[in-house]
Each structure stands twice: as structure tokens, then as C-alpha cells.
Structure 1
Amino acid sequence: MPPAFYKEGDYVIGGIFEIHYYLHTVQHNYTTMPEPLKCTGSMDTRELRFARALEFAVKEINNRSDILPNITLGYAIHDSCGAAPVAVKVAFQFANGLTPRVTMMPSCSKTANVVALVGASGSTPSIGMSRILGRFGIPQVSPFATCACLSDKTQHPAFFRTIPSDHYQAAALARLIKHFGWTWIGAVRSDSDYGNNGMASFLAAAQKEGICVEYSVAFYRSNSQAKLERVADVIRSSTARVIVAFLAPGDLRILLEELTRRPPPPLQWIGSESWVTDTELLRFEICAGAIGFGIERSVIPGLRRFLLDLKAEEASKYPLLTEMWEGAFGCSLNTVQTKTGHSSAVVPCKGNENLAAVQIPYTDTSQLRITNMAYKAAYAIAHAIHGLVCKDMPGSMSKCNKSKVLEPIQVLEQLKRVNFSVNGYPVSFDSNGDPVATYELVNWQTMQDGSVQFITVGRYDASQPKGQEFRISESITWMKGQKKVPVSVCSESCPPGTRKAQQKGKPICCYDCIPCGEGEISNETDSVDCVSCPADHWPNAHRTECLPKPVEFLSWDEVLGIVLAVCSILGACITVAVATVFYKHRMSPIVRANNSELSFLLLFSLTLCFLCSLTFIGQPSEWSCMLRHTAFGITFVLCISCVLGKTIVVLMAFRATLPGSNVMKWFGPLQQRLAVLAFTVVQNVICILWLALSPPFPIMNFSHYKERIILECDLGSVTAFWAVLGYIGLLALLCFVLAFLARKLPDNFNEAKFITFSMLIFCAVWITFIPAYVSSPGKFTVAVEIFAILASSFGLIICIFFPKCFIIVFRPEQNTKKHVMGKVELKAL
């Protein structure tokens, strides 16, 4: 295949670009020589601009005195039409020349036709060429092949590129999608090395970012129409509103033409660098609002003048320029069909047409991106040659040896060390032959006049520290011109207070939102798990934060506490009032007949019983926990001891009236005091041992209620607690039995009857207290205990003292010895 553009030189640089979209194919019959490979289809004038940028760079280098002075570079530029067979054939030509015959001579020339080459534009042609050129050590510098696979130096030892690898672009695209909260996307790619490898890198990066792909489809421009329609139908029927396209421009153009026939719902297109800055695609309104990473925009001084300074006469010398000229102006430079197979137009060209007057990608130098990559590739090769054949002299022009024969392998090794800047753009290669990855974030924005333009809205620089590579500096216009970021998720975000539960058989981005369980919260959107609150905290109603649990105890300022406190004080006051009445009438028969000493001691103990219930109210503390149970136990034993003493006195008094009985001398006042003291001392001993060995102490009870804390007193020794209650119960039962036995003694004011009733009430209260105490929750446990104390205390004072007080206050005429002894019949009350 002859080159499309050729120039002789001391050293020749090869070039190969995808200027046409298709390879002309024929059915071989194997009876005649196959036709030469040739490109067909429409022309990509953008790629033609890349090829002419290589021409311009060579011309500029030849005119410079600081690079390769007195040395002329040449070029041989081919059109690969994006086909691997053409690229492979051109690779062999670069290595061996155009000789059509195979020689059987024992030796042949080992010198390649070119010292290095620029290209190819696509990854698949570049891979095919690299596998051949690498065997000969011929360096290949691509301005547009981005497949990450080309960074493998074991497979592609002679490959370099001035455009970043898709490894970085894939990571940047995944970061971009994550940044905007898109977790449900579609993916379409070219069924080529570029598309398949680029999409594989992207999907791996997307998976790390938690992004799910609803579909991933591939096609190539040469696939059947049925295959193209299937791909388009998948896109139309999807629920993802964001689509990532790793496509070559030619493949995307065909896909967009198919989608335009029957448009899908509005889609947010995310583009790879291959098409997101291609001006030929701006005519497809379906892509308005597209966003993607493009190569940085640049300025090449003099390039626009070079491209436009083309006359019809010069264009007619080259088939590619002729085809471009005829397509741009709609006229024919030749009266016959061109060698490219392009039919001549009916109207002949005048020859004075001006390229500056037409708007085609060839003439558009406002967005020089890949063009600059080809320009830098030419300069990289020139600097490598300069380092081999020239010797820099301080203060004067470099001395170069144009007669020096260069082996491509020498240029290859020198390319690894180049490090320079051209027009302010640095050029260097890492160990993989890749440059530093920098991208512009490009947005397709619709202007006021209705035109769509590329607007740079951000930047990605892989050389920056992790987390700082990506930034957005301008506002973005999304699909259909909207300013609000579109939403593309399989499931709506789970609000705080819920967690994600993956839907069975679906990707991780498809989930249900499950409310957090009891005692758990999630304070972030899309939480995977709920977190348990600390033991002293509980979730709020929305389960988004842990709040301190309310502390519960029987407090002074709540209704129940106030009522019980009032009852306690009231009981104590009543007891004091009764004691006052008894004291004022201490010499009256009814008081003297009922053992006034024990009565006053009983009233004193009852007052303490009423008051000890107050220790159960309020926030538990160490002293209140120890005091409430021990004080209750001791005062109640003192109380029951007095009642028991009174009961024994009644029995002894009755026995003393029998002839010959001398029993009262054995249970006189001293013995009564000693009995009360003895009964009380036993309880004191129990309480002292309790306090000494395992005293009650305040605790925070987390187990009874999950949502609140109960402040209560732990009994310490449960055995001691029940020993205190058991001892009280034993004395109460003994008192009840004795009082029951004495209930029918002949006495108008038989105290045994009243003691029986009081003990009956006392025992009933405390028997019912046990199950109520065990089953009552929280502060009600304390309330039950206080109620039992008050009920039994009121039972004692009402049953034992109220009848006497009634006689003393309201029936003083009955407060006589005769009435007390039952010798005067009482009138009905």
C-alpha cells in the first residue's frame, strides 16, 4: 500500500491514522491475485487533521535550529481505516519496504524503512502493529490508542503513547459516577480491544465504588443490522438513566443513528475520550448534556494556518485531500472518478475555494486535543533522534551527523529517556511507556443559539495525592438541558433509621429498606448495618440517633411519689395525734387498762414505720438503700413486738384473775420491756449481718425495660432480705395466733379482738405483697413496698387505737373502770 502522504528525509518517521471508517472487502475466488487492501466509506476529517498535524510537526522541526539542525526529517503516512489487516500490512512495510516478492537469499537488509512511527489511532490496529514492530525493535508512539493492555511491556516492548491509558480513565469515570450518586447504569462498548479492555477496567473500578451495571452490550460497526437493533432495544428498555459508552466514534455514530429512529427515554451519556470531544457527533441531540473525560485542550501555534493554507491544485495531488476537498465544497477536482472510489461531483471545483469558510472537523482547531497528542508524538521521536545523532554544544548550535545510520532499537532506548516540553506541554514516558494521566471533564452544553459546544467543567490529574485527583470547577448541564443532577438508581436510598437488605437474585444496588431493630440505629443514608446503642442509650422514634435512656425511680415530684409521701406523713401525724390523746388521758381507765407503756412504745414504732416509708422515695443512694430496708425491718419488728407484748399481757391478765394464779409476776413491766427488746435485738442482729456481709446498694437496671433505666436498690443478700421479712412474718403470725386465742375473753374493750383484726390485716397485706413485689416493674416495686408498709401500719393504728380514741374523745362517759371491766352493760353505739 503506498502512503497517503510521503516526504523524503534523512530519517523517515512513519504515521498511520484511521482516516476512513471501513475496509473494502471482496470475496476471493483463489483463481486470481487478490485485490489490494483499500479503505472505503465516509472520511473522518478529524483523523485527517491528526495526520496533517504530524506533517506540520515534521515541517516545524525541520525549520528549527535547536532540534536536529541541518537534518531533514521525512514522513510516510498511511490510512489504516481502523482495520487490523491494513495496520499489520503497513507495519510490515515500515519494517521491510514495499517489495512484493519474498527473497530466498541467505541474508537481507536489517534496516527498517522508518526509525519510528506515530500511530495507530485505534487500540486494535495498534496492538496488531505492536506485536510485529516490537520484534524488530521499531518504536511506535500512539496519540490515540488507550487500551490498558498496551502498557504490558512483556507483550508490547516497543510501544509508547502520548495519551493516558484507559486504566486511569476507567478509574476517573467510576469516581465521576460515584460522585453524582449514580449506582444503576448501563454500559455499551465497541467490540474491539479498545472497547472490551476499557470496559473491563471500568467495570472493575465501578465494582469497587459500589456501582451496579444493569446491562453491558457490545457491537462493532461491521456487525449486522439485527445485532445493532438488539443493542439499541436493550438500551431503550432499560431502567438505568445513565449510560457509559466506551465506543470508537465510528461505532457510536452508527448506534446513535439507530437510536434516533426510535428514541429511548432521556439518557445521561457518559463518554470516553475517544468520542466525547468529537465534533462530528454534536449533531445528535440525543447526546446533549453528555459528560466525559477528554484529553486536555491545547494550542498549537501555526497549525490552523497550515491546515487552511491548502489550494485546490495541491489538494488534487493527494487522493485523501481530494476527497476531503470535494466533500467540503460539493464539487469535483477531477472529471473522472477518484482513485478512492468516491464518485466525482457534477459541479467542477473553481479552484478558489477557501477552507476557512467551511465548518468541518478538519478546519476546527478550537478543541485541539488528540491533535496535540500526534504533535507531541512527532516531537518525542525527533528528540530521541536528536539525542542519538547530535551533540549539544554550549553557547552554539548542536552538531549533528546526518550520515549516521540509526537502528530503530537505538531510537527505542532513547525514547525511554526523553523529557522535554513543547508549547508548554511536558512530554515524558514512565516505565510502561505511558505519560502522566491528566484529563479535562467535558460537558456538552447547549448554547442560546441552539448549538452544542464542548465546555470544560472540571479536571482529573492522576499525579495528585489520592482523593484529590478529581475536581469540578463549573456548573454542568445535564440531559434535556436540566440543571438538576439526574437520578439513576435501582432502589431509592435508604434513609437514616433503616438498613439495606439486598433483593434476592439481584445486584447489590437493588435492595429493600428495612427499619432498624429494637435498640439499633443508623445515622447515615444507605447504611448496610444498624448499630446497637450503648446500654444506657436508646434510639429516638426515627431510630437515627441514640439518646440517653430516661432514668426511672419513684421521685418526689411525681403524682405517685407525692401521694405516698402525703400518706406517710399523714399516717405519722395521725399516730402523733393518737399519742397526744393517749398522753392527755394517760390516767384514764381505758388507757391504763391497755398497758399504756406498751401503747406509747407501739405508737412510737408506728410513727417510725410511717416515716421509714419516706426513705423509699427519691433517687436511690448508698445510704438510702441501706437505710430503707433495715429501718423498715427494725421498726416493724419493734411494732410487732409491742403488739405481741400487749397480746401476751391480755392473756396473762386473764390468767391472773383465776384463783391461785401468780402468773403476772412473771410478765410484769420489766419482763415486757425485756421481751420487746429481745425480739428487736434479733432483727438488729440480722440487719447488722446483712449490712456487714452484703448490704443493699444502688444499681441501674437495664434488663427490665429496654427503653429506660430503672434506678433501684439491689438487695445485696436476698437471703438476708427474706430473713428480715420472714422474722416479721413469724412474729406477726405468733401475735395473730395468741390474739385469736384471747378474742373471747370477757372484756368490753377486749384488746385481743382488735389485735386479731390488725394482725389479720397485717398478714393479708404482706402475703399479697410477696407476689406483687416480685411481679411489679420498675418504680412500682418500690410503690408496692411502700403501700404494704402504709397499709399494715394504718391497719394497726386503726384497729388497735381508733376504738379507744373514739371512746376517749366522743364517749368519755364510758371511760370508766366499770365499763372497762364489763360490769356495766353498754348501750348500742
Structure 2
Amino acid sequence: MTDPFQLPYKHYQRGDVIIGVIGTQFAYVLDETAFSEYPKRNFIDELFLVPKTYQQLLSMEYAVKEINENPIILPNITLGFQVYESFANARTTYQNTLKLLSGLERLVPNYKCDKEKHLIAAIGGRSTDTSLHIATILDRYKIPQIAYCVLAPVMNVKTQLPSFYRMVPKGEHLYKGIVQLLLYFHWIWIGIIRSDDESGEKFVQTLIPMLFQKGICIAVTEKMPAISQAVDMLSSLEPLTAKGNSLSSPKVQVYVVNARAQTMGCLTWMIYFSGVFEGAEGVEKISIGKVWVMTAQWDFSFQTLHRAFDIQVYNGALSFSIHTSEVLRFPRFLQILGPKLQQGDDFFRAFWENVFSCSFYDSHENQKDVDTCTGQEKLESLPGTLFERSMTGQSYSTYNAVHAIAQALHKISTSNPKHRALIDRGILKHPNLQPWQLHPFLRSISFNNSAGDMVSFNEDGELIAGFDIINWVTFPNKSFSRVKVGKMDPETIEGQVFIVYDEAITWHSWFNQALPLALCNAKCHPGYRKEKKEGEPFCCYDCIPCSDGKISDQKDMNDCFQCPEDQFPNKNKVRCLPKGLNFLSFTEFLGITFVVLALSFSLITALVLGIFIKNQNTPIVKANNRDLTYSLLISLLLCFLCSLLFIGRPQILNCYLRQITFGVIFSIVVACVLAKTITVVLAFMATKPGTKIRKWVGKRLSNSILLGCSLIQASICAVWLSTSPPFPHLDMHSLAEEIIVECNEGSVTMFYCVLGYLGFLATVSFTVAFLARKLPDTFNEAKFITFSMLVFCSVWLSFVPTYLSTKGKYMVAVEIFSILASSAGLLGCIFSPKCYIIILRSQLNIKDQLIRRNL
């Protein structure tokens, strides 16, 4: 085959100033030569022509035509162009870049042989590698180069390539857009497909740390072989099938593809040949459940292989694209194209023959078994996979690049007098213009193109713009629709930097229009939290139920969170419910029961008091100090009634009165019992002849005991109220589902001092009564007092541990029960025998009878 370095693929149009273009329409594969062999140029074959990339040359040609027909931009100056092919090959790119400089087909380095070809700037290339190869030559001569490669060829472009400009946004915006798109759809378990070369390595080194930082895991990274390696694989389909099978894993449904032409070509071959090898099911097998997220290099430029390949594999794919707007007259320009109008354009002839599968009669290639090109074929009949009539992203960049050069030249012609040597009566003297003089005007360029978009460069020579997000919808007839479904534009106002229109997206038919999932495992439901699996990537986790008191109200929460203090988790731990108030209410059964008991015992006590008052002159009432008996009954009546202070919602007043009233009244009750017991003992001791104890028997001693014991308790309560009194309190934490409305004791020490003193009195009273239990029965209350105090002490001894082990209204209920039980015990044990004699055995309630029984 003919050496491709000598193939006559070029296109030239005269002009006062020339724009050089290094395009990539063809790709060749150079046979690898072993290190031990003599170097040679041995090309395997012309693998493919990329039909769609020819539109980039047409957009450049249309922009030049548009400018030359506009008398305002460059009056009296015409733009021309010189186009060479790079063949996606470094050596060819260097060689043809030098041809642009010399102006001749033969190379004469550092000489400008054709004075008519006044090169002012260059456009190219499409890939980062080709751009760098061109820039290596042009930057030495400070010739402006406007590329449309998506990613910069070097890290610090401004420093290393000061003459280099890019008609595309910052590559950083593309990486951020990919990450934000994945996060938007909650795709955190993805695969990456990249080329097996330095560019692919740079892609993953930049993207993967950004993914990890946002919690996105890489399930698999698949390397697409270099073109030369891919051609070697064609001899055996097994490697392609093996790679195809790895892509068919159902565990990974979303792939981010570094969609360079080389990568996409190999991926397409892999899917296609895997389908051929395994039958029709092979293609569908790989496409099932896959969402392809493509970088901005992709535009369905899959070579002529598309004629056999089912593009529906890529149905629903999402890609980032250089922002484009419709150039209204461009479709009309394409409509009138034909072989007669494109005389001298070698690219057009190759393009025409390729897309229409025909051959011109004077073609340099001897193509048999194909029709002859008539020139009447219509571009409108071509599917979009081969050629589009609206500008693609890279064509739009080429169009803007030509206009940027023209606008820079226009600014020179209207600039200040310091460029007088270049201007004559408002007309640019182009022969005197040097390419390096264009730089300050290009850097500061800012204009609106014919589509209404602003074109300007940032400080690094990159276009100030963002990326569009495109949804590719394919059809069985190999046509497709390019739908804009969002954008990534950091230059816009806050809140609109990243936008996706979900309703406009069409997913692959396999998903039935449901949002595809990209997860290592199923999401954790609300009520559960994530827990990392040992030895697995951080996106893989187990789902653990929330602990007590915590909830998770969304899927896939990293941790459960505590409900507010006044709320508690529901049964499923998915939401917080308001806590109810916990206090002993008058309206609930337990409260009503205690009210009934308290009133009933109060009524009984009042009846007993009435009976004793009515029978106050009888011996059984007069025995053991009648006044003490009345005091005891009145105190017991108040004890029963004070239990009502513990029922109902605690307020400041009843919190003050609860424990104070209880402590003082019960102290009076126990003091009365103690006084009665001591009176009984002294009364019997006073009956002995010659005793001096008789002077102690009387009301003065009993009143002193009653008053003294009561005042001590009252003093303790006074100190309590003055230092740290009880107060209403909301206990949020003791009960899981309720707020305890309680009276905080203020000082726990003082509370237990009150109980301790009461216990001390009860112990003394019990001891004295126990010692006097064997006195004669008729006048002896000691036996009944002993039994009553035994009941009293038993109740209050069991009260303390029970009180401490309960919470809320049940703790209050324990205290009310203890008050009622101990008071009822005293009432029953001391007064029921006397009431029995008074009411039922009244014949015994006479002095003679009592003396006779005592004898």
C-alpha cells in the first residue's frame, strides 16, 4: 500500500492571511518494529476513515466563508486556510506542521518558501496527543494555536505552552461534572473504561481521588488496548470475548468511559465481535443493565463500523459535550455541498466515497464491486452515526476558533496608534503582521458569535464556558437523537452550576424507564444504618438496626440519630413520635382508685372521730388520754387527705406542699402514738405504791412529746424549703416514650432526713409499745399499738427500695399507697377494737365491768 505520509490528503484555499489546520480524518496503524530490527515505515492498512470528523473541516470552511462575506469584520482582507492530515500519528503530525510553516509540500525547516501563504494562526488538534505534537513546533515560533482537545496536553499550559489556546472549557469542569452526575443519581458502585496508555492513566489518576473523596467506589477498571494491540486481537476473537464477558457482569451497571476515539473504537469492536462470536445474544448480553457515562470526546464517531454495529447498545448513554448552539445557516451550507463545489478538497472525495459506499471514476484507489459516485447523492440521507447536519461540539469549537482569530485581527485594525505600523487608514497591513502580535488580542478576546454565545478565554487560554449533558437516544434504523438534559457550568450564577432534567432522560429499554441503580449492595432501609464490611470497598456494607432511642428516616444513612428530648422512636425506628406526659392523673383508673380510697378512709376516720366524740365520756374513750386520741384521729384524717396532693399534674404549690405536709402530719401521727404508748406505760407504773412517776402522768407530758416531736420535723422541713425546695420538673430521659412530669425533691438529702426522722419516731414508738405489750388487756393499748407500728414500719421499710426502683407516676403511686396503707394500718389496729366495744359490746364500756375484767 502507498505510504500514508505521501497520501495527497490536503485542502487549500487562498487568502491574504492563512489559517493552518491539522485535522484527523484517517487513522493508520504502524506495525511495531522490534528493537533489534532496522527502523522502517511499515503501515498495516488504512483501518478507517472517521466520516463525522469531516464536519469539523466543513465548519471551519463555513466560518471562513461567513467572515469573508462580512464587510465589517475584516474589510479588504480575505481569510484562507491550509488543511493537512495528522493520521493520528506523531511523525505525520510533526511533518505536516512543518509544511504549514514552510508553505511548500517539501520540508524546508526554518524557511518560508511560499510568500503568498501568510500563516497567521493554526487550529488543531482534536486529541491531546496531536495538540501537543503541533504545539511543540508552533510554540517555538510563537504562532497561536487554538485546539479543541477536551483535556490539556500538559499540566501547566500557560507556563509550558504560552502560545496554546483551547476552544473548550477547563478539563477540571469535566471531572467535577462526572462526579456530580454520579452523585446526583446516587451511583456509587461504578466501573471505569479507559485507554491503556499515558492519557488513560492520567484520566484515572485525576478522576479516582475525586470519586473516593465523594464516597464513590470503583468496582472495576477496564483498560482498552491500543489500536495496534486491538488489531492483533482481531486474529483471535477470544480475548475480545473475554473482555466482553467481564463487562457483562450484572454487579456493575454504570461505566464511566474515557471516550477517546481509540477507547471507543476498541470498546465498539469488543461489543461487536463478542456478539458475532457468541451469536446475536452476545451484543444484547453486554448491553443489559449498562449505563455509559461518556466524557466530552464522544460524539458517535465510531467509524464505518457503524454500518454493521447495532448502536442501540448505547441507547440511554449520558455524555458531556462542549456547549453548542444552533448556527442557523450551517445546514443550508451543507445542503448545497457536492463534488463539483469541492474541487481540490481531497478530504471531501474520501468522505463522499466512504459514506455513500461508491467510488469516483478517477479515484486513486481501485475499488471493485462498488457503485460509481454520481455526485447527486444527498447528505440528508445519511444516518446520524455517519454524519450530522447540526454542528457537533468539536465542529462548534472549530467554528468559534476561526471567528476568534478573525476578531483578534479586527481588534488590531481598530486598536490604538502603537500598532500604526500594521494599520493604514483603518485597513490592516497584513503583510507586516507577525503571528506573535496576535497573542495580546486573543487573550483579551470577547465577542458574541452568530449563535449568540459569548466567546472569551481565561488566564490559561481556555474557553470560559461549561459542558452540556447529553442523553443519546438511539433507534433500530441506526438513527439517534441528541437530547440536552443538563449542564455543568461553573461560570454561571450560583444554584445553576450543575443542573439535570430527570424527566427528559430516556434510559435503555432494559431499565423500563426506571432509574438505574449502581450500588455494591441493596440500600439500607429506614430504621437501619450502614456498617462497613471487613475486607470490602467502603461502598459495600451491612445494614444494622438502629440502637434504642435512635432512628434513621432515610435510606442508606451512615448513622442513626437521636430523637429530640420530647420525642421517641416508633416501632420501626423510622420516625420520632411526640412523647406523652407521664403523671398520675385524676382521670385515669389508678388515680381514681386512689382518690376513692383516700376519701373512703377519710370518711371512715371522720366516722370514728364522730363515734369517739359522741362517746367521749365513756371509760374506753377516756382511757389513755382522750385529747391524744382526737389528735391522732384528726392527724390520720389529714394523712388520708394529703395523699390527694400527689395526684394530678405537679405545679409549684403542690410540689411545695406534698412532702412537707406528708412529713409534718405523719410526724404528728407517730408522735401521738408514741405519747399514747408512753402514757400507758406510765399509767401502770404510777399505780405502784410510793412511786414518784405519778407526777409525770398527765396532759403536760403527752402534749410536750407531741409538740416537741412535731417541731423537730417542722424545723427540718423549714430548712428544706429555705435552702432547696421541691419544684416541678420534666424528666425527658427516664422513660423511653414518655416525659415524666414530677416534683423534683430539690435536695435529696433533706427528703431522706424527713423520712429518716419519721422512721426514728416510728422505731422508738414500736420499741416502747413492744416492751409494754404484756400489760393488762382492758386498759392496755400497747399490744394494738405494737401491731399497728409493726404494720407501719413494714410499709415504710418496703417503701424505700420500691420507691427507688420505679419511675414516673408509679413512683408517686408507691408513695400514695404507702401513705394510705400505713395510715389505714394505724386506724385499723388502734381503733377497730375500741369501735367494736363501743358499737357492738357497749355493755363492756362501763367502769365496773372494766375493773372486774381487769381483776
- Tell me the TM-score normalised to structure 2 length: 0.86
Distance 1:588 1:21, change over 3 A: same
Inter-partner Cα distance in structure 2 for 1:182 and 1:716: 56
Of 543, 546, 553, 2:573 maps to: 543
Deviations 1:130-156 (A, max 9, x none): 122112111111234543747721122
1:54 aligns with 2:82: no
Partner of 1:242: 254
Distance 1:400 1:37, change over 3 A: farther
- CA deviation after TM superposition for structure 1 residue 127, in Å: 1.3
Structure 2, unmatched stretches of 5+, are 276-281, 418-422
Distance 1:447 1:672, change over 3 A: same
Give the counterpart letter for 1:508 in structure 2: F
Contact 1:602/1:642 (CA < 8 Å) preserved in 2? Answer: yes
- CA deviation after TM superposition for structure 1 residue 283, in Å: 4.3
- CA deviation after TM superposition for structure 1 residue 595, in Å: 3.2
Inter-partner Cα distance in structure 1 for 2:383 and 2:622: 130
1:573 aligns with 2:603: yes
- CA deviation after TM superposition for structure 1 residue 317, in Å: 5.2
Give the counterpart letter for 2:459 in structure 1: S
Of 508, 528, 538, 1:479 maps to: 508
Partner of 2:177: 172
Higher mean C-alpha deviation, range 805-814 or range 467-476: 467-476
Deviations 1:271-315 (A, max 9, x none): 223224548668422111112222344444654555455555676
Of 466, 490, 496, 1:462 maps to: 490
Give the counterpart letter for 2:719 in structure 1: L
1:285 aligns with 2:312: yes
- CA deviation after TM superposition for structure 1 residue 188, in Å: 1.2
Inter-partner Cα distance in structure 1 for 2:763 and 2:549: 48
- CA deviation after TM superposition for structure 1 residue 80, in Å: 1.1
1:794 aligns with 2:824: yes
1:320 aligns with 2:343: no
SS in 1 for 2:432: coil
Deviations 1:376-410 (A, max 9, x none): 222222333444468899xx997435562332211
Partner of 1:415: 442
SS in 1 for 2:776: coil
Contact 2:50/2:302 (CA < 8 Å) preserved in 1? Answer: no
Inter-partner Cα distance in structure 2 for 1:692 and 1:253: 90
- CA deviation after TM superposition for structure 1 residue 578, in Å: 0.9
Give the counterpart letter for 1:74 in structure 2: G
Contact 1:732/1:763 (CA < 8 Å) preserved in 2? Answer: yes
Inter-partner Cα distance in structure 2 for 1:741 and 1:390: 127
Inter-partner Cα distance in structure 2 for 1:306 and 1:688: 104
Contact 2:191/2:255 (CA < 8 Å) preserved in 1? Answer: yes
Partner of 2:481: 453
1:352-431 correspondence runs (5 A): 352-356=375-379, 358-359=381-382, 364-388=388-412, 399-402=426-429, 404-424=431-451, 425-431=453-459
- CA deviation after TM superposition for structure 1 residue 126, in Å: 0.5
Higher mean C-alpha deviation, range 299-308 or range 553-562: 299-308
SS in 2 for 1:822: helix
Partner of 1:677: 707
Inter-partner Cα distance in structure 1 for 2:435 and 2:695: 138
1:275 aligns with 2:298: yes
Deviations 1:500-545 (A, max 9, x none): 3232333332222333333333344433333334445433333344
SS in 1 for 2:431: coil
Distance 1:323 1:214, change over 3 A: same
Distance 1:351 1:24, change over 3 A: farther
Distance 1:148 1:92, change over 3 A: closer
1:95-114 correspondence runs (5 A): 95-96=101-102, 114=119
Distance 1:298 1:823, change over 3 A: closer
Deviations 1:222-251 (A, max 9, x none): 324277556434322362211122222353
Of 779, 784, 787, 2:814 maps to: 784
Deviations 1:144-198 (A, max 9, x none): 4543747721122111222333322222232222222222222212345665545
1:555-704 correspondence runs (5 A): 555-661=585-691, 663-701=693-731, 704=734
SS in 1 for 2:248: helix
1:769 aligns with 2:775: no
SS in 2 for 1:795: helix
Deviations 1:738-792 (A, max 9, x none): 3334333334353232222222322333333333334444433333333332222
Inter-partner Cα distance in structure 1 for 2:327 and 2:634: 111
Distance 1:733 1:495, change over 3 A: same
Give the count of matched residue pairs: 817
Inter-partner Cα distance in structure 2 for 1:17 and 1:148: 17
Partner of 2:420: none
- CA deviation after TM superposition for structure 1 residue 478, in Å: 0.3
Inter-partner Cα distance in structure 2 for 1:28 and 1:744: 126
Inter-partner Cα distance in structure 2 for 1:29 and 1:770: 97
Inter-partner Cα distance in structure 1 for 2:804 and 2:198: 78
Inter-partner Cα distance in structure 2 for 1:770 and 1:301: 93
Inter-partner Cα distance in structure 1 for 2:134 and 2:791: 109
- CA deviation after TM superposition for structure 1 residue 333, in Å: 2.2
Give the counterpart letter for 2:168 in structure 1: I
Give the counterpart letter for 2:263 in structure 1: D
Inter-partner Cα distance in structure 2 for 1:588 and 1:755: 21
Contact 1:137/1:409 (CA < 8 Å) preserved in 2? Answer: yes
1:176-255 correspondence runs (5 A): 176-191=181-196, 195-219=200-224, 220-224=226-230, 225=233, 231-237=243-249, 239-255=251-267
Distance 1:288 1:813, change over 3 A: same
Give the counterpart letter for 1:84 in structure 2: A
Of 254, 268, 283, 1:256 maps to: 268
Contact 2:103/2:112 (CA < 8 Å) preserved in 1? Answer: no
Give the counterpart letter for 1:293 in structure 2: F
SS in 1 for 2:190: strand
Inter-partner Cα distance in structure 2 for 1:411 and 1:313: 36
Inter-partner Cα distance in structure 2 for 1:411 and 1:311: 35
Distance 1:223 1:595, change over 3 A: same
Give the counterpart letter for 1:479 in structure 2: H
Inter-partner Cα distance in structure 1 for 2:627 and 2:415: 131
Inter-partner Cα distance in structure 2 for 1:31 and 1:240: 44
Higher mean C-alpha deviation, range 712-721 or range 645-654: 712-721
Structure 1, unmatched stretches of 5+, are none
Higher mean C-alpha deviation, range 709-718 or range 560-569: 709-718
Partner of 2:279: none
1:731 aligns with 2:761: yes
Inter-partner Cα distance in structure 2 for 1:819 and 1:183: 101
Distance 1:145 1:573, change over 3 A: closer
Percent of aligned pairs with the same amino acid: 35
Inter-partner Cα distance in structure 2 for 1:494 and 1:33: 61
Alignment root-mean-square deviation, CA? 3.7
Deviations 1:45-73 (A, max 9, x none): 22223223323433443444233333343
Inter-partner Cα distance in structure 2 for 1:348 and 1:687: 117
- CA deviation after TM superposition for structure 1 residue 81, in Å: 1.8
Deviations 1:335-387 (A, max 9, x none): 6x72xxx4423456364533446416676313444223222222222333444
- CA deviation after TM superposition for structure 1 residue 797, in Å: 1.7
Contact 2:22/2:97 (CA < 8 Å) preserved in 1? Answer: no
Inter-partner Cα distance in structure 1 for 2:357 and 2:114: 47
SS in 1 for 2:389: coil
Contact 2:646/2:812 (CA < 8 Å) preserved in 1? Answer: yes
1:12 aligns with 2:39: no
Distance 1:391 1:469, change over 3 A: closer
Give the counterpart letter for 1:773 in structure 2: Y
Deviations 1:684-717 (A, max 9, x none): 3333333333433444445644554434444444
Give the counterpart letter for 2:552 in structure 1: S
Contact 1:276/1:293 (CA < 8 Å) preserved in 2? Answer: no
